[in-house]
């Protein structure tokens, strides 16, 4: 379903943001 894709993209984006924050620190 489309909702699953949206959720997957949202989770992937969040993880990427967290990884970037950790790398910056």
Domain of 10? 1-25
pTM of the model: 0.56
Mean pLDDT of the residues in the chain = 92
Residue 23: both structure tokens together: 């790398």
Q: Tally the domains of the chain.
A: 1
Question: For the residues 12-18, what does the mean pLDDT come to?
Answer: 96
The confidence band for 18, taking pLDDT boundaries of 50, 70 and 90, is very high
Q: Distance (Å, rounded) from C-alpha 17 to C-alpha 25?
A: 12
């Amino acid at each position: 379903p489309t909702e699953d894709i949206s959720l997957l993209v949202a989770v992937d984006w969040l993880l990427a943001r967290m990884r970037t924050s950790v790398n910056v620190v």
